[in-house]
Amino acid sequence: MTDSVPAETGADLAGPADPAGWLTLPDVAERLDLSISKVHQMIRDRELLAVRRDGVRRVPADLVANRTVLKHLPGVLNLLADAGYDDEEALRWLYREDPSLPGTPAVALGGDLAREVKRRAQAVAF
């Protein structure tokens, strides 16, 4: 879990550019109908990704869809962690434009290419 504020600023930060693309942890808890402590546990267990933005821990909103976390997200996060990625680096990987996917791996996780994203995360680990 990333607790320090990265040296990057503004447009250099990974993740959604639009502030509406982020959820605070209480917002995530409400959306998932869980307690805030369960959301913290999900972050510790790498079932969900949270980073600090403007001093507040936030989650990209598109990683939480239909009142649940994207199905393959925990697996991808664990594969990236096994490859030595911290939360900021994992977020950067998820939001890096990829011309062979429809936009970014984060967007592809919500569609038919989720397994392909997982395979690519596995390849990063080796």
pLDDT in 10s for each residue of the chain, 126 residues: 444 444 444 446 778 777 678 999 999 999 999 999 999 999 999 999 999 998 999 999 989 977 889 989 999 999 999 999 999 999 999 999 988 888 899 989 988 899 999 999 998 866
pTM value is: 0.83
Indicate the Cα dihedral angle 50, 51, 56, 62, nearest 10°: -50
Of 68, 107, 69, 60, nearest to 88 by C-alpha is 60
